[in-house]
Structure 1
Amino acid sequence: MGPTPAREQRTAILISSPFLMTREEFAAKISELVPTIEAGLEQWALPQCEPIANLDDGVRYALGLDVKEPTHRGKRLRPALAILTCEALGGQTSQALPFAIGVELMHNYFLVHDDIEDGDTMRHGRPSVWKQFGVANAINIGDYLYGRVVPVVLRSLELGADSTVVLRLLTLLAETFDHTARGQALDMNARSSLDLTVERYLATVTEKTGHYLAAPLIGGAILAGADNSLVDDIRAYGSLLGPMYQIVDDLIDLTENKGRGERGADIAEGKRSFMVAFALSRLDRSSRQELLAILDCPRDQTSPDEVARAIGLLEQCGAIACARQTVRDLAERALRLVQTMPHRLSQLLVGLTNFLETRTR
């Protein structure tokens, strides 16, 4: 069977593009910025007074500043995107750093609270914050991380940023927080759904992940003085990348375990993924009821055999294959959008698209 017209079109886009950046080149750019980002976290994110047990150490733990092993901390993707976007449009690293650190703090706030809400005991290959410090302390650690966002972003003023620009950045983060929290509520509500559709799933993850992933790009563009038209184009690109990122995340959970301790953690959690939404419309009644029974079983009572059976049902109805194709389709649409953007930004976003489409953690 030959390549589909869509795949041929995508290949043509990539081969003819002067902006092509490989996954490896993009990953190298992220890695180069990690020391700068972590120095910023050390300087601005941590308490600058007498240490308090179960707070200072918890903040360092949540941010992965207590270890050198990169698999025990985040990829620093979002802060790097803010810096790289700003640089691609003519700005400076130092100009974008406070906003980038603010984005990373908000990201880790969400992770700490998300693990509590989902009951996840592992994060980045080690105990999650609530598992290590207890639920009450973890809530406080997450709250502290979020409370640092505004003071850190305000440091942009000390570096010469216009107050109007800083207000736009803070408004962007507030709107992102609103969308993400609403998306998380939709996601949690869907966990008891018996008739979730693919369309509802995509609307949920666009709300939960799309704005969240676009915000660093938009903020970096604002700092570099981008006009509203370009900001709108970046926002449209992010609205495609968010669902793509989440579906890849769903797929990784079935194959790589995402550093959460076990393969299929989303199934044990009862999460309604893209594959589940697809399967609910394709499986026969008996198989559908079997899948829902596994998903709705309490997490600590779901056996590895039941998780494996659920994965088998998803494979059987074509849900996993459909998820992979949907990721490719979203990536193709995103790549078409970036072709009209400024040269260096296009190069960056092609690399980002390739990186997210093929990531394994």
Structure 2
Amino acid sequence: MTQSTPPAAEQGGAGLEGRLEALGALFEEALERFVAARSAQPIENLHEGLRYALGLDLPAGPGRGKRVRPLLCLLTAEALGADPRRALPFALAIELMHNFALVHDDMEDGDVMRRGRDAAWVRYGAAHGINLGDYLLVQMMAALAEGEPDGLDDATRVRLLRLLTSALDHTHVGQALDINYRHRRSLSEEEYLRIVREKTGYYLAAPIQGGAIVAGASQRVIETIGEMAQYLGPLFQIIDDIIDLTDGKGRESVGSDIREGKRSYLVAYAAQHGAPAQRERLFDILDKPREATTREDIDEAFAIFEALGAVAAGRDYCRRLHEDARRHLERLPRELAEPLGAVIEMLVSRKQ
């Protein structure tokens, strides 16, 4: 591992927040440069859509999205002794991959809002939405293959590409399972956990593992990160499942998961612990067409969850997942475990 502290990492004040601010600025500058280079001869709807999906049409700030994954990548590389600029191609690839998934996911789920405004497919139409998602995926590969000078050798680039394709493979398997179960009137907690581990565990591990690979970390560290993410992925997803029924998720309104018929942790818990009449009524609501689902339906589903203690059970399970993730975190090198642990606590706190 090469020890280097670039000027960007020294700006923004002391402590973790200062480091994240500096790394965020470093990333935004790189993303702007990358997208500008790809848009030198703009095509109507395509390149404007690229900027829209990435939030680059908005002023710098939280409106563009949290950029959690690239920040985790850059923070990990820096914590393990690498110049974070060497990790920029992978950080760019991760963010492009994430937004590809969001564009297509919104279409598959029928969500019309993303980050408090029209989803990309609503703004540009379904045909352009599909093409825009595909274009983001192409740019993911371009960012890694043609990224800024970074000193990465070809073997490292291939290793990072394999990491990305593996994460995408698991994510799409999880998405297929998720969609399949929307047409079934049963779901166990074990089946739910398989879905979310496939859909979120590898997806969350990849940016941290990529930063570690750039820094030359050992295989043991890479594997421990992957094991930790198998708890963090379900943790964040179950928190999201609960938030959907309490505060919404910036997509449409409270209860969006019910409208789309999503089989969440709350549904899995109710399906296992509810009386036959409760299960039957819950799946009747979930199986309604999105546009036919009323506010009263959402309230009734929530009442079933509350009567069965599903929300409380979800929160309790989140506490256990959190503890398991922290046990794996403690096996990582201290220089990584401390900042990564602090970021995880920030994410959990903000989600809750």
Q: Smaller-chain TM-score range?
A: over 0.9
Query: What amino acid is aligned across from residue 239 of structure 2 in structure 1?
Result: V
Distance 1:163 1:156 in 2: 12
Deviations 1:43-77 (A, max 9, x none): 11342422111111101100000012745332000
Alpha carbons 1:96, 1:223 under 8 Å: kept: yes
1:355 matched to 2:335? The reply is: no
Gaps of 5+ in 1: 1-24
> Given the superposition, is the C-alpha separation of residues 295 and 26 from structure 1 closer, same or farther in structure 2, using an over 3 Å criterion?
farther
Query: What amino acid is aligned across from residue 119 of structure 1 in structure 2?
Result: G
Counterpart of 2:35 in structure 1 is 45
Deviations 1:270-319 (A, max 9, x none): 00000100001111111111111111100011011111111111111011
Distance 1:218 1:135 in 2: 34
Alpha carbons 2:93, 2:139 under 8 Å: kept: yes
Alpha carbons 1:45, 1:105 under 8 Å: kept: no
Alpha carbons 1:72, 1:126 under 8 Å: kept: no
Q: Among 288, 296, 305, which residue is 2:296 paired with? A: 305
Moved more, 71-80 or 135-144: 71-80
Counterpart of 1:151 in structure 2 is 142
Counterpart of 1:334 in structure 2 is 325
Q: Give 1:29 shift.
A: 4.4
Counterpart of 1:170 in structure 2 is 161
Deviations 1:195-228 (A, max 9, x none): 1000010011000000000000000000000011
Number of aligned positions between the proteins? 337
Equivalence map 1:311-322=2 (5 Å): 311-322=302-313
Q: In percent, how many aligned pairs have the same letter?
A: 44
> Given the superposition, is the C-alpha separation of residues 155 and 344 from structure 1 closer, same or farther in structure 2, using an over 3 Å criterion?
farther
Q: Give 1:354 shift.
A: 1.3
SS in 1 for 2:89: helix
> Given the superposition, is the C-alpha separation of residues 225 and 132 from structure 1 closer, same or farther in structure 2, using an over 3 Å criterion?
same
Q: Among 88, 103, 111, which residue is 1:120 paired with? A: 111
Q: Give 1:31 shift.
A: 3.9
Query: What amino acid is aligned across from residue 33 of structure 2 in structure 1?
Result: Q
Counterpart of 1:274 in structure 2 is 265
Moved more, 35-44 or 237-246: 35-44
Deviations 1:297-347 (A, max 9, x none): 000110111111111111110111111111111110111111122112111
Distance 1:54 1:213 in 2: 30
Equivalence map 1:1-361=2 (5 Å): 29-46=19-36, 47-68=38-59, 70-155=61-146, 158-360=149-351
Q: Give 1:157 shift.
A: 7.8
Alpha carbons 1:256, 1:360 under 8 Å: kept: no
SS in 1 for 2:41: coil
> Given the superposition, is the C-alpha separation of residues 30 and 323 from structure 1 closer, same or farther in structure 2, using an over 3 Å criterion?
farther
Aligned-pair Cα RMSD in Å: 1.6
Alpha carbons 1:328, 1:357 under 8 Å: kept: no
Query: What amino acid is aligned across from residue 104 of structure 2 in structure 1?
Result: H
Alpha carbons 2:87, 2:150 under 8 Å: kept: no
Query: What amino acid is aligned across from residue 292 of structure 1 in structure 2?
Result: F
Alpha carbons 2:39, 2:47 under 8 Å: kept: no
Alpha carbons 1:95, 1:156 under 8 Å: kept: no
SS in 2 for 1:259: coil
Q: Give 1:240 shift.
A: 1.0
SS in 2 for 1:139: helix
- After TM superposition, the score normalised by the length of structure 1 is 0.90
> Given the superposition, is the C-alpha separation of residues 104 and 197 from structure 1 closer, same or farther in structure 2, using an over 3 Å criterion?
same
Query: What amino acid is aligned across from residue 215 of structure 1 in structure 2?
Result: A
- After TM superposition, the score normalised by the length of structure 2 is 0.92
Distance 1:304 1:34 in 2: 39
SS in 2 for 1:152: helix
Higher relative CO (Cα under 8 Å, sequence separation at least 6) belongs to 1
> Given the superposition, is the C-alpha separation of residues 264 and 35 from structure 1 closer, same or farther in structure 2, using an over 3 Å criterion?
same
SS in 2 for 1:258: coil
Distance 1:299 1:32 in 2: 42
Moved more, 38-47 or 73-82: 38-47
Distance 1:178 1:270 in 2: 24
Structure 1 stretches of 4+ moved >6 Å: none
Query: What amino acid is aligned across from residue 35 of structure 1 in structure 2?
Result: A
